[in-house]
Amino acid sequence: MAGSRQDPLELGSDMDEDEALSYAIALSLQEQEVQDKQSSQIPSASTSTSRRNGDGSGGAGLGLLSFDRKKMEEERLQRLAKRRRSPPEDEDVVEVPPPKRMTPCSEPPRTVAGSLAPILLPYPKGTIKRTWAKGYSRTSEDIKIEEIFQKDKLELALLSSYQWDDEWLVSKLDLRRTKLLLLAFADSEAQKSEMQSNAPPGIKFVFPAMNGPGAMHSKLQLLKYPDYLRVVVPTANLVPYDWGETGVMENVGRRTEAL
């Protein structure tokens, strides 16, 4: 009887799902055929008790064998399907993001030099001007004190003079914007105190030391603006008539003979 039973086929790992299913069905039919042959060869003289015992034990053994084989086959098919769905471990899967679309710039980048406004520097090479005189037409060769100060841009002014007209000078400047430092002459401490007390608040005085007799007649202006420094050497004191606002100063020629 044992010789008539066919040996089970080896289950290859390279079977697909259809082949594995066909193999499982064939294996189940083979087990059923063996079971039928064994049941037909049982002797009829056996008692009902022994027949029941033999059928129960044989059926239980074959059922357990079939159940284990079927379960193993289902697990194998699940592993095979899982292995086919998942990629091999030795393959590196690299996700490449889609390329980003570059938006063209509607405006070219500005350079630092192009973004800065040009500085209009007055008289970059220096110049000599005549003092304007009231009653005469303006020319390109004359200048007023307002045109020198440019009070809307002036930040700091150091002024020196021999004669002063405080009210007139203050009218030519904006003391809310301009810091004023006056370099003046005083022959006594009393005169220094008087000049300081008559000046508006915020104006500072500097009195240079005069060694021996004499007076300070220097006329110099240092004017600081946001982007440049102006140096002015005038011939006029800080009084209105020296700047041509009250009249004309005429040069009188020398007489050839004494009076």
Contact by Cβ (8 Å): 183, 206: yes
For residues 236 and 240, give the distance between their C-alpha atoms in angstroms, rounded to a whole number: 9
Phi, psi of 146 (to 5 degrees): -65, -35
- Asked if 223 is an active-site residue, the reply is no
Exposure b/e, 142-172, CB count within 10 A at least 16 = b: ebebeebbeeeebeebbbbbeebbeeebeee
Residue among 217, 228, 247, 249 flagged as catalytic: 217
Contact by Cβ (8 Å): 143, 129: yes
Contact by Cβ (8 Å): 178, 155: yes
Please report, in range form, the residues annotated as the binding site for substrate. Answer: 219
For residues 252 and 259, give the distance between their C-alpha atoms in angstroms, rounded to a whole number: 15
Phi, psi of 157 (to 5 degrees): -135, 125
C-alpha separations of 39 from 31, 45, 48, 91, 145 in Å: 13, 14, 14, 55, 137
Residue 90 has which token pair? 């030795």
Please report, in range form, the residues annotated as the binding site. Answer: 219
* Residue whose tokens read 């594995």: 20
Catalytic residues: 217
